[in-house]
Amino acid sequence: MEIVSTRQVRVADRLGYWNEVLASTYRGMVVDAQQPLFEAQLSTWRLGSLRMVRPRSSSAVVRRHETRATIGSQATIIAHIIHDGQVQLTQRGRQVSLGSGDMVLCAGEEPYRFDCPSAHRLSVVEFDGAELAAALPQVEDCIARRIPGQTTGVRIFQSYLSALWSEAGQPFEGSMAQTHSQVLVELLGACLAEAEAVAGAGAGGGAADPVLQRIREAIAAGIGDFDLGPATIARECGIPLRTLQATAARAGTTIGQMITECRLLRGAAMLRANPRRSVIEVAMACGFADPSYFARRFAQRFGQSPRDYRAMH
C-alpha cells in the first residue's frame, strides 16, 4: 500500500503537488482547491485486478476528462463510498447529491465532476468495466445514480472493504486476491439489486420507474430555479405534462411536493456542509425566494429551525 500526503509540502505548492499525484493515479484528473489552506492524503492498494484508493481532502472540486482527448480506451467502473462530508457528482447529464454512507458508480473513461464543499473522505474501488458488465449486466443503468447508504447491501460492502483495508499491509497471494475481488463484485451486485428494489417500492411498483427517476433528476438539476414547476420539468424530461403528473400520483405524491422535499433535503445538506453560510443564502441556493417560508417549511420537515438544525450538526 502506498500513502502520499501534502503534510510535508509548502502550502503554496500543495495544489500543484496534489495534481501531479492525482494525474499519476487517474489520468485526466484535476483538482481545484476551494480554500487557501489545502490539505489532502491518498492511500492506494491493488487487490488482484482491482485498484482501491482512499482519498481525503479539504473542500475541492475534482474534474476528470475535461477534454475528450484525454479519454482512453479501457473502460472502468469506479465505485465511490462517502465516509465523511457532502459530495455532488455530475456525469451523463445527471447531478447526484451524496452524503455519509452513500455509494455511487462512475464511468471512469467519461467526463465527470465531484463538487466537495467541505472536508471529505471516501473509499474508491476501480473495476474493469468489461468484466463487471459481464458479471452484473444491470451496472450500466446504475451509473451516476445514488445508492443509499442506509441499505443493508451498502453497509455490508463497506464493512467488507474496511476489513480488507485493515489487512493491506499483508501480502495477498494471487488466488486469495482474486477470491476477495470476486466477493466485492458479488457484494456490489447485491447493493445494486437492493437499491433497485428500494427505488421500485418508492415508485409504488415492483420495479424502478425510469420516468420517475428522470423527474427526480430534473428536479435536482434545477433546484436553484425559483420558478421551477411542472411545466419546466415536463419540458426538461421531454414528456407530456399529464404523464408527469400521473407518474407522481402513482408514487403517492405531487410534483410540487417532490420539488419542496428536494429543496429541503438540499438545504439540510448545505447547512451541515457549511455551518458559516447564512440561512438566507441557503434558502436562495435551494430555490426559496422567501427565506421565512423556507424556515417554516424546514421546521415542519425536520422538527427544528434551520439555525437549530445547523447547531446540532
What pLDDT score was predicted for residue 285? 92
Mean pLDDT over 278-299 rounds to 93
How far apart, in Å, do the first and last CA atoms of the chain sit?
Answer: 34
Residue 73: pLDDT above 60?
Answer: no
* Predicted local distance difference test score (pLDDT) of residue 80: 96
pLDDT per position as a tens digit, 7-46: 999 999 999 999 999 888 888 899 998 778 899 999 998 8
Query: Which amino acid is it at 197?
Result: A
Query: Which among 119, 115, 88, 120 is positioned nearest to 262, based on CA atoms?
Result: 88
3-state secondary structure 40-70: EEEEEEEECCEEEEEEEECCEEEEECCCHHH
pLDDT confidence of residue 234: 92
Instruction: Please check the confidence at residue 71 and state whether its pLDDT lies above 70.
Output: no
The reported pLDDT for the residue numbered 115 is 93
Is-contact 234 241, C-beta < 8 A? yes
Class of domain 2-202: mainly beta
- Would you state the pLDDT for residue 1? 77
pLDDT, mean of residues 238-245: 89
Helices (H), the chain: 14-25, 129-135, 152-166, 174-202, 210-221, 230-237, 241-250, 255-273, 279-285, 291-302, 306-312
In this model, does residue 244 exceed pLDDT 60? yes
Q: How confident is the model at residue 205 (pLDDT cuts 50, 70, 90)?
A: very low
Residue 143 CB neighbours (<10 A): 18
Q: Rounded CA gap, 11 and 307, in Å?
A: 34
Prediction pTM value: 0.64
- Give the integer Cα–Cα distance in Å for 229 and 257: 11
Under the banding of pLDDT at 50, 70 and 90, the label for residue 229 is very high
Whether the pLDDT of residue 171 is over 80: the answer is no
Contact 254, 262 (CB under 8 A): no
pLDDT of residue 203: 43
20-24, 200-204, 263-267, 295-299: range with highest mean pLDDT: 295-299
Better pLDDT: 103 or 204 = 103
Predicted local distance difference test score (pLDDT) of residue 74: 62
Q: Where are the domains of the chain?
A: 2-202, 210-312
Instruction: Tell me which CATH code domain 210-312 carries.
Output: 1.10.10.60
State pLDDT tens for residues 49-58: 888 999 999 9
Average pLDDT of the segment spanning 293-310: 89
Q: How confident is the model at residue 206 (pLDDT cuts 50, 70, 90)?
A: very low
